[in-house]
Structure 1
Amino acid sequence: MNNRQQNADQIDAFSRYLAERKPMLKQQYEQRLAHDLSRQQWQGCFQRNVLAVLTAFYDEAFYQLHATPFETRQYPVNNGMSELTRQLLTAFQGFIDEFLLFVVDKHRTSCALSNFPDEHKPDKDYINDVKREIAELWRTFALKLNTHFLDRI
């Protein structure tokens, strides 16, 4: 098997890994939310728990990719980004949107949050603030991954 095919197989395996992680991330969010509510820490729980779950997930995904023996020298670098980085980042397409839809729905259907309108029904501004922080997490992850691959060229 040639290096390009081996890399393609590893990218496919990573895509499957992402698909398998989705339900686990939702479960982690539910556990964190339940923990907050049991301690009456509802203020900011949407933001705090989304960012905590995604921070841990991006770290885990990076280490998963870091441990994968990709052949990096065969990929071109365009505008400072390895083509391999671009291909792997594509595997995340729609990932965050799906997760946020789940979280918002979880909050909107939570009886325990119904007395806290900012958390029960997060408004557009609150959600956008969280999305900006998620974008920073994503940026950090993508740069770290790209640097890893560029260092191996």
Structure 2
Amino acid sequence: MPPEPINDASLEQFQAYLDQCKSRMKSDYQRRLANDLSKQQWDGCFQRNVLAVLTETYGLALERLKALPFQTADIPRERGMSALTRRLLPLFDGFVDGFLLFVVDKHRTSCALSNFPDEHKPSRDYVNQVKSQIAELWREFALNANGYFLECA
């Protein structure tokens, strides 16, 4: 069987997996936040929990990717990047943005966080600091996914 139908099907399955991750990420965040608040650990909870959820999500996504069948033998490479990586990465467009909107809204509507202004209404600087750390997590995932495709070729 030619590689494209297999690779197309695997990328479609991966997209469906990512769609399922979105609700799991929200539930996981809510659970982590409730746990922090029950232990009165509100300082830095936005940053800590966003990064924990995304670290876990990217790790599980890489495992899921590796469990899918891909035919990589004749897949072109350009400047060290597999053509499959170029098809994979856009599947994540808006993935983190939607999650962050949910988290910020959760914090702004939380009565429990209302006495902690840095966490209740995270400032633009605080959110940007977290986004910078998210970018590192994303970079690591993208490099690992690309490395996987290149190793398989």
Instruction: Say whether 1:133 aligns with 2:139.
Output: no
Identity over aligned pairs, percent = 59
Q: What does 1:23-102 align with in structure 2 at a 5 Å threshold?
A: 23-102=23-102
- Measure, in 2, the Cα distance between the counterparts of 1:48 and 1:129: 12
- The runs of 5 or more residues in structure 1 that have no matched partner are none
Aligned-pair Cα RMSD in Å: 0.8
- Measure, in 2, the Cα distance between the counterparts of 1:73 and 1:137: 28
Dislocated runs of 4+, deviation >6 Å: none
TM-score by length of 2: 0.98
- Measure, in 2, the Cα distance between the counterparts of 1:64 and 1:23: 17
TM-score by length of 1: 0.98
Q: Which residue of 2 aligns with 1:144?
A: 144
- Measure, in 1, the Cα distance between the counterparts of 2:74 and 2:90: 19
Q: Which residue of 1 aligns with 2:118?
A: 118
State the number of aligned residues.
153
Q: What does 1:16-27 align with in structure 2 at a 5 Å threshold?
A: 16-27=16-27
Residue 2 of structure 1: CA displacement?
Answer: 2.9
- Measure, in 2, the Cα distance between the counterparts of 1:125 and 1:79: 34
Q: Which residue of 1 aligns with 2:12?
A: 12
Contact 2:7–2:70, Cα closer than 8 Å, also in 1:
yes
Give secondary structure in 1 for the equivalent of 2:5. Answer: helix
- Measure, in 1, the Cα distance between the counterparts of 2:80 and 2:2: 25
